[in-house]
Amino acid sequence: MTIQVYTFSEQEEKALIDFLKSGHYNYSSTDEKDLADVEFINQYNKELEEAEAKIDSGDFLTHEQVKKHFADRRKRLSGN
């Protein structure tokens, strides 16, 4: 099994390596570009930024609003 991890600092990478060694896990480092499709990551980050901008502008539903929407929908569909 392979697990890909991107660390944000040398200190974080050292802590991860120490943890893996303590558990007798094999570890190998690779170039960041080899970890994942860079285009996919860029698109994913863009979509996250767009979603955060919508939330910041107030364009969202609360959990309670979503629950009410689906409860009302179920009532309409069941004829009650």
pLDDT digits (tens, 9 = 90+) for 1-60: 667 777 888 899 899 889 988 988 887 776 666 666 778 888 999 999 999 999 999 999
Please, which residues have CB within 8 angstroms of residue 18's CB and are 6 or more apart in sequence? Answer: none
Report how many domains make up the chain.
Answer: 2
- Pair 42, 31 in one domain: no
With a cut of 80, say whether residue 80 has pLDDT above it: no
**Sequence-separated (6 or more) residues with CB below 8 Å from residue 35:** 4, 6
31 and 60 share one domain? no
Q: Do 45 and 77 lie in a common domain?
A: yes
Rounded to the nearest 10°, the torsion over CA 26, 32, 37, 42 is 140
- 74 plus 59 within the same structural domain: yes
* CB contact at 8 A, 41 and 35: no
Q: Domain range for residue 72?
A: 37-80
Rounded CA separation 38/41 (Å): 5
Summarised one tens digit per residue, pLDDT across range 64-77 is: 999 999 999 999 99
